[in-house]
């Protein structure tokens, strides 16, 4: 399946998958995460640099199969580093050390198969979500039991999410047509450039969000079809999901949006960087996310801006909380106003991250919508040092 979807570029995924299994089986737990992390991220960075070379220097159209392989490599990095950290923390016990044996025999190869299966599990390789090795192993072991039955028919969650996938994809096509109308509108209410800029950035971001929602739901439905990610105690309830659409579209907090967006990836970033960083954990997390995404100019701009707005937004809600609690009307007005601000700031950042190029940064900086994140940046700069460090 990897060769069919990625062609010859499948080796970009298969090579680090094999290498990571060898490293996990050969290194000691105290060093395995460091070397596996550096090796995997180094390989992924080289692939991203090759994409930069083709995009910005040669200015060639990139093969879609290479894009699919690179996306799969990013998701593989999540599973490799997650599993190596589990080994480092003692949550996974490796049965044998390959390199300490005289030869790589069939027993050692057989013991490595669960790790290969976890890394190359195809639905997760194409779109996620990230699950732990323990969850995957328990699921596979349950499938081998002849008397194992699903707590709920997996076909119902599958068809339900596939239906929602098609509806969201149709809505995305409609939004894309609306963008074309806005771009070519020179008369009527859209004569005001400020309104046109805001509508154009918000609808463009909405189109990107709908594409992500569709992809996440499709990936989740494929996992549910084999019973992975279904709650045994609550019928049809997913335990493995990236898409919390309601929260993302209704939250008035940029920090909550950041935690909920691509949820399993957010949890992975928190575990890999935020909880392990001793200096500026928030900034380090978003900077690493920019590295993981490929370090395109607009991505670096977008993620650093996202870190600044999250920090400023946290301080804003902490300060305003006691004040708006005195009046119900003031509380409703505050939530509506901050919801609009959250929508515009996250839209601005998402467009920057998705369009990636330096020219996109220049266009966005000239846009009227730049005022929204700029307010947060100015708020953060004007904050006393003691508050900024908290």
The pLDDT of residue 160: 86
Instruction: Retrieve residue 21's tokens.
Output: 């299994």
Instruction: Retrieve residue 166's tokens.
Output: 């098609």
Cα dihedral angle (248, 252, 258, 264), rounded to 10 degrees? -40
Q: pLDDT digit string (tens) for 186-196? A: 544 434 477 88
Q: Which of 108, 293, 315, 317 is catalytic?
A: 293
> Token match 């395109």: residue?
296
Q: Which of 223, 224, 252, 262 is catalytic?
A: 262
Mark the ranges of the chain whose per-residue pLDDT is less than 70. 95-110, 144-153, 185-192, 230-238, 383-390
DSSP state string for 251-279? ---HHHHHHHTTHHHHHHHIIIIITT-SS
CA-to-CA distance for 79 and 15, rounded, in angstroms? 15
CA-to-CA distance for 296 and 283, rounded, in angstroms? 17
Residue 315 appears among annotated catalytic residues: no
Secondary structure letter of residue 370 according to DSSP? G
The pLDDT of residue 232: 59
> Token match 């990897």: residue?
2
Helix pair angle (106-119, 64-88), 10° resolution: 120
CA-to-CA distance for 318 and 312, rounded, in angstroms? 10
The pLDDT of residue 115: 86
Residue 52 appears among annotated catalytic residues: no
The pLDDT of residue 365: 86
* Class of residue 271 by CB neighbours under 10 A (exposed 0-12, middle 13-18, buried 19+): middle
Q: pLDDT digit string (tens) for 325-363? A: 777 888 889 899 999 999 999 999 999 999 888 888 888
The pLDDT of residue 337: 92
Span between the terminal Cα atoms of the chain, in Å? 48
CA-to-CA distance for 161 and 375, rounded, in angstroms? 38
The secondary structure of the chain in percent helix, strand, coil, rounded to multiples of 5, reads 75, 0, 25
The pLDDT of residue 5: 86
Helix pair angle (281-293, 297-324), 10° resolution: 140
Instruction: Retrieve residue 96's tokens.
Output: 């044998």
CA-to-CA distance for 198 and 297, rounded, in angstroms? 22
Q: Which residues pair with 246 in a beta bridge?
A: none
The pLDDT of residue 99: 43
Reported as type and span, the H/E element at residue 26 is: helix 11-26
On the CB side of 200, CA atoms within 13 Å amount to 20
> Token match 């839209």: residue?
347
Question: CB of 150 within 8 A of CB of 230?
Answer: yes
* Class of residue 8 by CB neighbours under 10 A (exposed 0-12, middle 13-18, buried 19+): exposed
């Amino acid at each position: 399946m990897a060769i069919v979807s990625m062609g010859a570029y499948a080796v970009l995924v298969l090579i680090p998958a094999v290498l990571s299994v060898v490293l996990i089986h050969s290194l000691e737990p105290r060093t395995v995460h460091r070397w596996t992390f550096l090796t995997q991220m180094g390989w992924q960075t080289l692939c991203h640099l090759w994409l930069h070379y083709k995009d910005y220097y040669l200015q060639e159209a990139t093969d879609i199969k290479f894009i699919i392989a690179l996306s799969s490599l990013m998701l593989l990095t999540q599973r490799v580093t997650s599993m190596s950290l589990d080994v480092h923390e003692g949550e996974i016990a490796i049965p044998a050390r390959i390199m300490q044996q005289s030869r790589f025999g069939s027993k050692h190869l057989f013991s490595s198969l669960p790790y290969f299966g976890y890394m190359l599990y195809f639905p997760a390789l194409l779109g996620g979500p990230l699950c732990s090795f323990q969850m995957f192993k328990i699921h596979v072991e349950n499938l081998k039991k002849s008397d194992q039955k699903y707590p709920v028919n997996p076909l119902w969650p599958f068809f339900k999410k596939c239906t929602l996938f098609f509806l969201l994809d149709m809505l995305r096509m409609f939004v894309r047509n609306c963008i074309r109308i806005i771009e070519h509108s020179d008369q009527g209410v859209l004569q005001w450039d400020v309104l046109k800029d805001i509508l154009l950035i918000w609808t463009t971001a909405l189109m990107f969000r709908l594409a992500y929602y569709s992809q996440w739901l499709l990936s989740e439905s494929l996992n549910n079809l084999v019973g992975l990610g279904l709650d045994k105690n609550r019928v049809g309830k997913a335990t493995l999901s990236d898409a919390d659409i309601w929260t993302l579209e209704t939250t008035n907090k940029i920090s909550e949006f950041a935690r909920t967006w691509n949820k399993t990836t957010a949890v992975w970033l928190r575990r890999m960087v935020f909880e392990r960083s001793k200096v500026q954990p928030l900034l380090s997390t978003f900077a690493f996310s920019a590295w993981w995404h490929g370090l395109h100019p607009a991505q670096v701009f977008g993620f650093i801006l996202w870190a600044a707005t999250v920090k400023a937004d946290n301080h804003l809600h902490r300060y305003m909380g006691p004040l708006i609690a005195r009046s119900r009307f003031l509380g409703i007005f505050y939530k509506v106003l901050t919801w609009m601000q959250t929508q515009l700031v996250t839209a601005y950042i998402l467009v920057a991250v998705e369009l990636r190029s330096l020219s996109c940064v220049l266009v966005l900086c000239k846009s009227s919508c730049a005022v929204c994140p700029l307010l947060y940046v100015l708020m953060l700069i004007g904050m006393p040092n003691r508050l900024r460090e908290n």
